[in-house]
Amino acid sequence: MTRIAVIGAGPAGLMAAEVLAEAGCAVTVFDQMPSPARKFLMAGRGGLNLTHSEALDTFLTRYRPAAPLLLDAVRAFPPAALTAWCEGLGIETFVGSSGRVFPKTLKASPLLRAWMGRLGALGVELRTRHRWSGIAATAPRFATPAGEVTQDADAVVLAMGGASWPRLGSDGGWAALLPDVPLAPFAPSNVGFVVAWSAKMAAQAGAPLKRIAVTFGGVTARGEAMLTATGIEGGAIYALSAAIRDAIAREGAATFTLDLRPDLDAAEVARRLAMRGKGETVTTMLRKALAMPPAAIALVQETRHAASRHAGATGDLATLVKALPLTTRAPQGMARAISSAGGIAWDALDARFMLRAHPGVFVAGEMLDWEAPTGGYLLQGCFATAVAAAKGVLASITPARHPPA
């Protein structure tokens, strides 16, 4: 029986293991953590956004770089296939008002339990507390509590994730073990940004900004954000984070704007503010005229008194409500990033997702150089590349199973 070692027990590793085990391979999954899919479970606390229901052509535009191998993998295992796979585990799904697809349980743990049950029935073996320490041909080595061990295999699938949320296992440490493989530098993705708040503003940490719009580089994203002690984060920020991050790398700083009342046009905001009552404070006026919450009002007041820290800041209230500028000089870093950009370069792989420098070693998931916004695109990319890598393994071992006459 063909023996496959899968390194990494996140979504990509487990999906590759499932495809290979269903094809009759003897699969062992190794992971450095005490239990599988820790980042997957953490993501599930927010509802577990599996994928998105939008048209596939639009869906594919969310990935950068738009590597042909990645896009072909998603075409071969599209959102409909991922949804059907989830339903096949007995986990019903639904499409939210935003088009995002979720399990009805809105949790990752029931899905993971059902999935591990299926993998167990297929004979997949899981070995935890095994940290990959190197590889010779297709024989990976692992550091374990009992010492170093080596696993002989006919093929290896690497699926150890990127570099975000390192405390959950995806620390990018594997990069040092592949010095002969081209690697794009890691960078935080779907991340918040550092803003030089005053002490008074920093005290607003944890306050939400709901139903806002964020604009940068001519692109606007609507959604929510949250203030932190050192800056701002949240879905509306994440949607533009790649462009903001890249601008900081080029220019040293970037300024994006917040529309704190996107449901009102600028003229209506100005009209309401012009009706300020006698003796009414700015805070009272913003609350009464525009129904702005305390966090949004604090932002307006902060920016009015900190124009030197934010390019384009003005004292005009209507302008601040509709286009409040925030200047940042750094993303918040990998520990707070939802995902990471960078990883193994696409030209390091052949068409089967096999490393050119390491025959018999295949790669899937966030180890590869791609990024996407939140909204289901991240998990879809991990699952799809895992299926592609597993099929690449099967294509590579088929001749050995059935040698030509």
Write out pLDDT tens, residues 338-394: 999 999 999 999 999 999 999 999 999 999 999 999 999 999 999 999 999 999 999
> What angle do the packed helices 377-401 and 11-22 form, to 10 degrees?
30
Residue 345 · residue 369 · CB < 8 Å: yes
Q: What is the spatial distance between Cα 238 and Cα 221, in angstroms, rounded to a whole number?
A: 9
Q: What is the CATH number of domain 3-188+339-401?
A: 3.50.50.60
Check residue 307 and give its pLDDT.
Answer: 56
Angle at 38 between CA 31 and CA 333, to 5 degrees: 105
Angle at 194 between CA 191 and CA 198, to 5 degrees: 145
Check residue 14 and give its pLDDT.
Answer: 98
DSSP letter (8 states) at residue 252:
S
3-state secondary structure of 360: coil
Q: State pTM to two decimals.
A: 0.91
Name the stretches of the chain with pLDDT < 50. 308, 401-405
3-state secondary structure of 4: strand
Give 128's contacts (C-beta < 8 A, 6+ positions apart). 9, 31, 32, 33, 34, 35, 36
Check residue 405 and give its pLDDT.
Answer: 36
- Every domain of the chain and the residues it spans: 3-188+339-401, 193-328
Distances (CA, A) of 353 to 42, 73, 138, 180, 393: 28, 10, 15, 16, 8
CA torsion through residues 342, 344, 345, 346, sign: negative
